[in-house]
């Protein structure tokens, strides 16, 4: 395979699932994480460690950290996967300006900066793929998650607009928009609350990180080359 894939947010449940799926197919991985180094080390112990080119820690809520990450990307990058992010629960009117700034930086500005930095080399080689993991709330919106819904909606718009701009240069830009996926991000929900959610989902279950990884893997393959600027919903019919 031989393609280099930068995974932003590789230590999350979805990020690890994506890294594992790509490692199976011989992709070369550049892994970013913020806090969960233990998860990165556990992943490396389970797979052929030769497929991991580098591991970079950076808190993408902080602009200087994002810029440092870019200086540490010494390997060429063919594909970028944005799987990082965090939800924020609470009433909009109670949300502090600091939280607003951090959510914008993490989900919107950091991906802008990373993409802007790596696009020139992709354009020169007339090849590249960029995939975002967004959210059902980026389209539907969710009460008590207004900020999260807003930044995920911004990611969707970025994907659609950038895809049109870079398509003539042979670069594909798409997103996977999951619904309720069984990850640590949903640990704040009680079992009863989860059951109520399952009753709203026609498939009557949560999605799996491995299922998200399967769609990402497909988007990196040659037989998805005519898919451009799409937000692929993965919601179990929710």
Per residue in 99-112, is it b (16+ CB within 10 Å) or e — as a string?
A: eeebbbbbbbbbbe
Kindly report the pTM of this predicted structure.
0.93
Is residue 130 within 8 Å of 161, Cβ to Cβ?
no
Beta-bridge mates of residue 56: 32
**3-class SS of residue 6:** strand
Is residue 30 within 8 Å of 77, Cβ to Cβ?
yes
Widest CA span in the chain? 52
Q: Which domain holds residue 14?
A: 4-234
pLDDT digits (tens, 9 = 90+) for 112-141: 999 999 999 999 999 999 999 999 988 888
pLDDT digits (tens, 9 = 90+) for 42-59: 999 988 778 999 999 999
Give the DSSP letter of residue 181: B
Q: Which residue has the tokens 């870079």?
A: 166
148 belongs to the catalytic site = yes
Catalytic residue among 33, 79, 148, 226: 148
pLDDT of residue 216: 98
pLDDT digits (tens, 9 = 90+) for 6-37: 999 999 999 999 999 999 999 999 999 999 99
- Indicate the pairing of strand 171-178 with strand 52-57: unpaired
Output the six-digit token pair for 202: 């026609």
Alpha-carbon distance 129 to 195, whole Å? 37
Lowest-confidence pick of 8-17, 59-68, 190-199: 190-199
Q: CATH number, domain at 189?
A: 3.40.50.720
- Whether the CA torsion 70, 183, 23, 124 is positive or negative: it is negative
Alpha-carbon distance 103 to 88, whole Å? 8
Domain tally, the chain: 1
């Amino acid at each position: 395979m031989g393609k280099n894939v930068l995974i932003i947010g590789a230590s999350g449940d979805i990020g690890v699932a994506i890294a594992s799926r790509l490692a199976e197919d011989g992709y070369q991985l550049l892994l970013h994480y913020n806090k969960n180094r233990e998860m990165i080390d556990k992943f490396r112990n389970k797979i052929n460690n030769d497929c991991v080119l580098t591991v970079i820690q950076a808190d993408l809520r902080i602009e200087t950290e994002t810029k440092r990450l870019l200086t540490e990307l010494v390997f060429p990058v063919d594909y970028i996967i944005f799987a990082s992010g965090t939800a924020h629960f609470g009433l909009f009117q109670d949300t502090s300006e600091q939280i607003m700034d951090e959510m914008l930086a993490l989900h919107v500005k950091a991906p802008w900066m990373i993409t802007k930095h790596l696009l020139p080399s992709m354009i020169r080689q007339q090849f590249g793929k960029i995939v975002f993991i967004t959210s059902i709330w980026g389209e539907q919106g969710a009460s008590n998650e207004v900020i999260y819904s807003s930044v995920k909606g911004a990611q969707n718009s970025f994907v659609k607009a950038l895809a049109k701009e870079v398509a003539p240069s042979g670069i594909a830009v798409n997103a996977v928009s999951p619904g309720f996926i069984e990850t640590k991000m949903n640990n704040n929900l009680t079992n009863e609350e989860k059951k109520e959610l399952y009753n709203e989902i026609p498939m009557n279950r949560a999605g799996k990180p491995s299922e998200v990884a399967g769609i990402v893997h497909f988007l990196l393959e040659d037989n998805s080359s005519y898919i451009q600027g799409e937000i692929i919903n993965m919601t179990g019919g929710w």
